[in-house]
Chains A and B, each alone.
Chain A
Amino acid sequence: MKRLLPWVLSIAAALLFLAPLLWMLRASFSPETQIFQPGFAGGIFHGSWTLQNYADAWRRAALGSAMLNSLLQVAGIVSVGLLINTLAAYAFARLEFPGRELLFGVVVVLIILPVEVIAVPLFFTARDLGLTAGYGPAMAGLIAPFLAKAFNIYFLRQHFLTLPIELEEAAVIDGAGAWQQFWNVALPSIRPALATVVVLDLLTHWGDFLWPLMISTREETRTVQISLANLFTQPPIQWGAILACAVMATLPVLALFRWLQRYIVITDSRTGIK
């Protein structure tokens, strides 16, 4: 019995913890009149199922293009950003040049800068670069400001620093230049860190709200989150459709996360500087 207790408690805690999300799933398949029924039985076990909410949400929020925009944004940031940040991180870790420590110090200071502080002047910068008008430019505007990230550079540099020097010395003997060192030796060795960065950026930017709110104003440049917010406020308010939209807004990142999850190994924690 005593061995069952932790299990029972855990299952109860898990159900309670996930209740809001489970309800969201159930309600998204419920007709409008059943969504706010009092009593658990009324709300969950009322037996009516409908796909109408999903159809309404897809149409009204133009989710097809919204999904594409969000996916493009995240894919762009994650892939191009990874290259840019790993290059810089490697330079700070392994390439010696004058002023390296000073420059890195400046980068470290930038880590604490939240995007909200610079969002408004960033907007003007994007405008000056022509990134606010038109579909292509607006998508670039959603991606470009987030490609180079001080935190990612710091984090990746930490990992590069932990690589055993013998690997690189061996490559030098084989005649490798800086690029080969980077691409063939260092980068493959920090795959878990790469996966971690990818996941963090994915989570952060899929849920981006303030910046897309400012920059993707037109219908065709809207991301999933903005489309959801619009559906939430544009009359007629259809609660079922809103919930269906919320579910659909979550599925891609859940799927991506599930796929990437096994590649992340979170191990011990010491963030000292070696």
Chain B
Amino acid sequence: MTAWKKSYARAAPWFLLPALILLSLFVVWPLVRASLWSFTNADLLNPAQKQWVGAGNYGGLLADAQFRQAFGNTALFALLVVPIQVTLAFVLALWVNRPEPAWRWLRVVFFVPTVVSMPVLAVLWTILYQPAQRTEMGLINVALTTVGLPTRAWLHDPHWALPALAFMSLWQGVGLQMMIFLAGLQGVPAELHEASRIDGANAFQRVVHVIIPALRNTIVFVVTVTTILAFRLFVQPYLMTHGGPANRTRSLIQSIYETTFLGQELGRACAAAILFLAWVGLLTLLQRYFSREDRA
């Protein structure tokens, strides 16, 4: 049957060309350009007049307290979001994994915030976090006063601004992860459940010793993707806190954006972008290392 496969091979370039051209033009070429610019001191408004500075931008960035803080903020954000969101999503998936069709509505409920776009939610939650002023306050503080807790100026408090952003991001994304875990749970063969029940394991032990190992790759995958997404944080600090208070919420991408358009330092911004790419690459390699490939 290889004859027809060989004749199909002639069609291959036609099938591939559109995608390859577009990828080269809009992904590979910009990447190359970013790398080249990262070794110069190009000015955004005048990129032609640039000088080679070698690793100057990279060294400068790694030594720059602002840049390190942006990275630290983003890392802290990821640290807050990922474990809590993944755990919550997993628990929710276990909770809604019931066969009765009536439970499907609950899955939809948890999934709705994912469908609402991030800029909309950023605007909404800024309003929700509105501090208490005399007789006016946002819904979060309203809820706190109802249960007798003190109110807070969430987005203006250096200690609580980033957690406030994390909370809202967590809320938005938990539904999608829940669906992924749900799919995974439904793929665990019934025999495994049966076997462990016969062995006398209770529900909790079943989860820990049967389900989690069976879903190992999914969990690793979800953790990696969520972490990478967390590092791409931009909209929330840009719209909600402008990077403050005291630069505590300025994210890595926001820092790159500001370097580009406010500082207008093109070379330096590209170097920061390449560093970010290296970081994402590292995270992805970690994922591959921790996943066991199923050689089915």
Contact = CB atoms under 8 A, between A and B. Distances in A.
Interface of A: 10, 13-14, 17-21, 23-24, 27, 35-40, 43, 83-85, 87-88, 90-92, 94-97, 100, 103, 107, 110, 112-114, 116-122, 124-125, 129, 144-148, 150, 153, 169, 172, 177-179, 181-182, 203, 206-207, 209-210, 225, 228-229, 232, 239, 242-243, 246, 249-250, 253-254, 257, 266-274
A246 to B, nearest CB: 5
B182 interface: yes
Nearest to B127: A239
24 contacts: A18-B109, A36-B136, A37-B135, A38-B137, A88-B15, A88-B20, A92-B16, A95-B15, A97-B12, A112-B280, A116-B273, A116-B276, A117-B274, A118-B34, A121-B37, A177-B7, A182-B15, A210-B234, A243-B127, A249-B117, A268-B186, A269-B183, A269-B184, A269-B187
B83 interface: no
Contacts, number: 261
Interface residues of B, number: 98
Nearest to A223: B119
B262 interface: no
Contacts of A268: 183-184, 186-187
B22 A246 contact: no
Given A38-B142, A125-B33, A117 B273 contact: yes
Nearest to B174: A17
B112 A21 contact: yes
Interface stretch (B60-68, B191-199, B201-209, B213-221): B213-221
A250 B109 contact: no
Interface in B256-292: 256-257, 260, 266, 269-270, 273-274, 276-277, 280-281, 284
Contact of A91 (B15, B114, B118): B15
Interface stretch (B23-31, B51-59, B157-165): B23-31
B109 A120 contact: no
Given A39-B146, A172-B4, A253-B115, A121 B235 contact: no
B278 to A, nearest CB: 10
A38 B6 CA distance: 73
A246 B123 contact: yes
Given A20-B139, A88-B18, A94 B123 contact: no
A21 B117 contact: no
Contacts of B34: 117-118, 120-121
Contacts of B234: 116, 209-210
